[in-house]
Amino acid sequence: MKKFLIFALLFCVSLLYADAPAMVCDEETGICYLVDDVPLVEPDDPTDAPATDDATATGGMSVIRRHIGTADKAEFLAFLRGEAVEDPAATATFWGMLIIALLGGIALNLTPCVLPMLPVNLAIIGASGGGSQGFRRGLLYGTGMALTYGILGVLAAFAGVSFGTLNSSPLFNFAIAAIFVILSLAMAGVFNLDLNARFRLNVAQLNLSRDAAALLMGAVSALLAGACVAPVVISVLIFAANGSWYGCLVPFALGIGMALPWPLAGAGLSVLPKPGKFMVVFKYIFAVIIFAAAGYYTYLGIKLLPNDETAQTQDGFAALEAARQESALTGKPVLVKFTASWCKNCHAMDRGVLSDPEVKEYIDENFIYVTFPAENPDEPAIAALLAEYEIPGFPAFVILQ
């Protein structure tokens, strides 16, 4: 059953790769590029480029200012009003994710696949005698776990470039949701996802010192996670691959959380409660969290399905010309949104900031709003326009007068 699920997943991903546009999204700047268009040098101040004093004439209109990449509501309104735009503060969110992963790692030690095995594993690595020796070997065992998850997180983050090509596809998000449903069922005990049951490591056969064996055992136990741990670990790695570059630290934080009790338990300290019925509760809590992640990716997939607005073909140049004529009559500036169907950050801006009632009202009152669908940025006319507006990627917003 497990082999079939793994094969089915790889087959679905290969199909998605075949049809997905070669696109990379920079989560730090919020800019999406086609792979062939990724700049070798980062554009100067890509998130906000005011041009009030150095307006350039373009098709009878002058560029007042532009904003490249995603923005929250406050930043976007500040851009529209011509106010100073502060850099987004993602520090709190970043530390919040690490703290949640750390606490989740500690909680995993309270699941029925880990807690009852704690004294057994301590005895195997020679840390059951307590004292400084037990502390040292418990610390080495936990270090092996944390380092393994940290390395897996880095590898997942590098793989995130490939995920960035796919995650603007509704099918890809539905596939991720299906994976999370399977993992939540495994966490709830519907079936076991336990590689450790098949692959065993006999420390006695290795010509290693007790300390080296403890470090190696920690690394192997992290790789061959138990039935209660594997679904959570896989979920965190998928998050690391599908998030920002710093998402690679989240698996490391999870590993540190799982490693924290081991040196204390090796020293003979009672840091964990005795096994009991509460362990099943922790399993179901994790199952619900993973299932909620499946619901989130299902929501993203539904939002990315084609609708009337994205399906229609629009002549961006004709819309720009009509807006120029209207601007000449009314005196209103023109707000141009450059977007593409393959740009996942553009969809995020549409769903969030641009659908906000306050933002919509401000745009309606103060601008002539135009959407320019730049599906193929390499098309000569579109490429010339993007070069003239100095737009390296999408979403991009330009105010013209």
What pLDDT, in 10s, does the model give residues 206-222? Answer: 677 888 888 888 888 88
Which of the two residues, 77 and 124, has the higher pLDDT score?
A: 77
Which of the two residues, 291 and 89, has the higher pLDDT score?
A: 291
Which of the two residues, 7 and 346, has the higher pLDDT score?
A: 346
User: In this model, does residue 42 exceed pLDDT 80?
Assistant: no
User: In this model, does residue 143 exceed pLDDT 90?
Assistant: yes
The string of pLDDT tens digits covering residues 52-74 is: 444 444 556 788 888 888 788 88
pLDDT, residue 7, reads 40
User: In this model, does residue 50 exceed pLDDT 70?
Assistant: no
pLDDT, residue 54, reads 42
* Mean pLDDT confidence for 242-265: 83
* Mean pLDDT confidence for 182-206: 71
* Contact status, residue 189 vs residue 160, Cβ threshold 8 Å: no
* Mean pLDDT confidence for 197-201: 56
User: In this model, does residue 304 exceed pLDDT 90?
Assistant: no
Lowest mean pLDDT segment, chosen from 133-137, 166-170, 340-344, 368-372: 166-170
d(Cα 159, Cα 153) in Å, to the nearest integer? 10
d(Cα 261, Cα 390) in Å, to the nearest integer? 54
User: In this model, does residue 119 exceed pLDDT 70?
Assistant: yes
User: In this model, does residue 148 exceed pLDDT 50?
Assistant: yes
- DSSP 8-class letter at 394: B
Bridge partners (DSSP) of residue 61 are 58
The string of pLDDT tens digits covering residues 332-341 is: 999 999 888 7
Res. 132 pLDDT band, cuts 50 70 90: confident
pLDDT, residue 367, reads 92
Longest pairwise C-alpha distance within the chain: 87
This prediction has a pTM of 0.57
Give the Cβ contact number of residue 306 at 10 Å: 10
Which of the two residues, 35 and 273, has the higher pLDDT score?
A: 273
Supply the mean pLDDT for the chain.
Answer: 76
pLDDT, residue 335, reads 92
Which of the two residues, 118 and 247, has the higher pLDDT score?
A: 118
Burial of 313 (0-12, 13-18, 19+ CB in 10 A): exposed
* Mean pLDDT confidence for 340-359: 82
pLDDT, residue 47, reads 45
Give the Cβ contact number of residue 267 at 10 Å: 20
Which of the two residues, 322 and 352, has the higher pLDDT score?
A: 322
Q: Could you give the percent of the chain with pLDDT greater than 70?
A: 72
User: In this model, does residue 106 exceed pLDDT 50?
Assistant: yes
User: In this model, does residue 11 exceed pLDDT 80?
Assistant: no
* Contact status, residue 32 vs residue 346, Cβ threshold 8 Å: yes
Lowest mean pLDDT segment, chosen from 102-111, 155-164, 235-244, 380-389: 155-164
* Mean pLDDT confidence for 172-187: 88
* Contact status, residue 328 vs residue 363, Cβ threshold 8 Å: no
Q: Which of 185, 278, 267 is nearest to 231 (CA)?
A: 185
Burial of 211 (0-12, 13-18, 19+ CB in 10 A): middle
* Mean pLDDT confidence for 91-101: 78
pLDDT, residue 62, reads 83
Res. 24 pLDDT band, cuts 50 70 90: low
Q: Could you give the percent of the chain with pLDDT greater than 90?
A: 14
* Mean pLDDT confidence for 321-342: 88
Residue with tokens 């994976």: 179
pLDDT, residue 168, reads 59
pLDDT, residue 274, reads 81
pLDDT, residue 123, reads 84
User: In this model, does residue 100 exceed pLDDT 70?
Assistant: yes
